[in-house]
Amino acid sequence: QQQVKQSPQSLIVQKGGISIINCAYENTAFDYFPWYQQFPGKGPALLIAIRPDVSEKKEGRFTISFNKSAKQFSLHIMDSQPGDSATYFCAASSRNDMRFGAGTRLTVKP
């Protein structure tokens, strides 16, 4: 049972471009939506998160857009840099657990 669906599976962007990753969830018990970044050989690390009472949250070059009625949210990375190359996971949390999407491998070409 895939509770959080994420696309695309992989993404290649030129340096300076915009990277967009999309996610959708089913369970309305989820009320916190973080994005995690994972580099090879490391555990995931929190990048940015949003609650469903706001439609957008921005931190530096990273923005989450949230559509509660559609149960969809997305991550936008502006001015993408080679150092952003990593795997990105959207997630959805309830009081007792956090479920990840399948991940998006982002490659930013110089």
Partner 1 sequence: EPEVTQTPSHQVTQMGQEVILRCVPISNHLYFYWYRQILGQKVEFLVSFYNNEISEKSEIFDDQFSVERPDGSNFTLKIRSTKLEDSAMYFCASSVESPNTGELFFGEGSRLTVL
CB of 20 to partner 1, least distance (A): 20
Interacting residues of 80 by C-beta distance below 8 A, sequence separation 6+: 13, 14, 15, 16, 17, 18, 19, 61, 106, 108
CB of 1 to partner 1, least distance (A): 7
Give the three-class secondary structure for 82.
Answer: helix
In one-letter notation, the amino acid at residue 72 is Q
Q: Which of residues 39-98 bind partner 1 (CB under 8 A)?
A: 40-46, 49, 87, 89, 93-98
Which residue ranges make up the site for partner 1 (CB under 8 A)?
A: 1, 30-32, 34, 36, 38, 40-46, 49, 87, 89, 93-103
